[in-house]
Amino acid sequence: MAPSTSGALPPVNLWLIGTIMKFTGQPDFSHRQPLRTGVLITNLGTPDAPTTPALRRYLREFLSDPRVVEVPRPLWWLILNLVILVIRPPRSAHAYRGVWTEQGSPLLVHTRNQCEGLRQRLQAEYGEDLVVEFAMRYGNPSIPSVLQRMAEQGVTRLLVLPLYPQYSASTSASTFDAVARDFAARRWLPDLRFISHYHDYAPYLDAMAEHIHSHWAQHGRAEKLLFSYHGVPKRYLTEGDPYFCECHKTSRLLAERLGLNESQWQVTFQSRFGREEWLQPYTDATLKALPGEGVKSVQVFCPGFSADCLETLEEIDVENRGYFMEAGGERFDYIPALNDCPAHLDALVALVHDHLGGWPDQDNGDAALTERQRRAEDTRA
């Protein structure tokens, strides 16, 4: 893949902050508070409610991100405001109502559970001075609001883990942008580490293999296992995004662990949005064609979705199930995402552990300082 050489945008936000806005700081920081390490997990985000106004708010924020839709801004502004934000919110709200739970949107519920499970495991290993929080790239809880809370808790070292195993500019880089944009307006920055992908990380692959094996143990196997990933425009691949390659690598390594031969598994891409060509083969076209090719039973697993969400529960388990059965399929199983299953949490703990390694010890003895020493080290005292 040839790298693209487009120039960087001028730092308009930095100019604005330096000219008319102030950097936010922590004037009430106390030298007696412990210095903490923070782990921030993130996912895409989801609307606050399955209603048209909430969908319009969510989709406006999401689809205005130039990392997601790489179309010249003036043209995209017109299409987004005059067409998409008129037609899509009521339709999407209807789809969300079909998967909404009493606790809220599935993506939010699973991410919250993952955060809770990771917090328990990581605090058992590192103690209470490790802070674990979650945030959403779009919608709530927002990345700036959670970073602010972490700063207030004394986080001076931060590890950001977007729960996207395969790197894509539209997801992973967009999350980095949101963190960087928040930092651009912040006075006191923590040490920062960012996990850009973990598509070939052995514990993640092992967790998926174990998960699929246990599904097979309960439900038996199908003739074909489809690995369906969220798509992106094909243009992003040709312009240098490694997402497609990483989806294929994850799938190959997972199929190896499952002992599948070439005819027993396939990679497909779902959730096409807009008119241009996206990564192929498409999940829906594949499922419509398979029965005609003699494949009457399939299982679909989505390795790129760390949590179940609209795109798996509705698009795969309802819409695509319908396409396959209408085309003459006899059996369709959706294998749920890893969500907060123990093997997934253990894999994420291992990933965090590997990425936290090597940071020098911090001296956390300030709580015991004498008043004279504290005053000497506190420039505001």
Ligand X SMILES: C=CC1=C(C)c2cc3[nH]c(cc4nc(cc5[nH]c(cc1n2)c(C)c5CCC(=O)O)C(CCC(=O)O)=C4C)c(C)c3C=C
The residue count for binding ligand X (CB under 6 A) is: 22
Residue from 37, 46, 175, 270 in contact with ligand X (CB under 6 A): 46
Cα–Cα dist 309/95, whole Å: 11
CB of 52 to ligand X, least distance (A): 12
What span, in angstroms and rounded, lies between the C-alpha atoms of 186 and 181?
Answer: 9
Contact characters 194-213, ligand X, x per CB under 6 A: --------------------
The minimum distance between CB 40 and ligand X, in angstroms, equals: 17
Q: Is residue 300 a contact point for ligand X (CB under 6 A)?
A: no
Burial of 91 (C-beta count, 10 Å sphere; 0-12/13-18/19+): exposed
Considering the rule CB under 5 A, would residue 284 count as an interface residue with Fe ion? Answer: no
Give yes or no for a contact between 147 and 287, defined as CB atoms under 8 angstroms apart.
no
Among 271, 306, 312, 339, binds Fe ion (CB under 5 A): 271
Binding mask 310-329 vs Fe ion (x if CB under 5 A, - otherwise)?
-x---x--------------
Phi-psi region at 274: left, alpha or beta (left = phi > 0; alpha = psi -120 to 50):
left
Residue ranges of the alpha helices (H) in the chain?
12-19, 52-63, 73-79, 85-99, 106-126, 143-152, 174-184, 202-219, 234-238, 243-258, 283-289, 310-313, 321-326, 342-356, 371-377
Q: Is 105 in the site for ligand X (CB under 6 A)?
A: yes
Residue 228 or 299 having the CB closest to ligand X: 228
Q: Which residue is associated with the tokens 């819409």? A: 319
Question: By beta-carbon distance, which residue lies closest to Fe ion?
Answer: 271
- Tokens 């599948």 locate to 260
Partner whose binding site includes residue 283, from Fe ion, ligand X, none (CB under 5 to 8 Å by kind): none
Contact 88, 195 (CB under 8 A): no
Residue 128, CA distances (Å) to 150, 153, 168 in order: 13, 11, 33
Say which entry of Fe ion, ligand X, none residue 170 contacts (CB below 5 to 8 A, set by partner kind). ligand X
230 is an annotated ligand-binding site residue: yes
In the complex, which residues of this chain contact ligand X (CB under 6 A)?
A: 44, 46, 68-69, 88, 92, 105, 107, 164, 168, 170-171, 230, 232-233, 271, 273, 304-305, 309-311
Interface with Fe ion (CB under 5 A) = 271, 311, 315
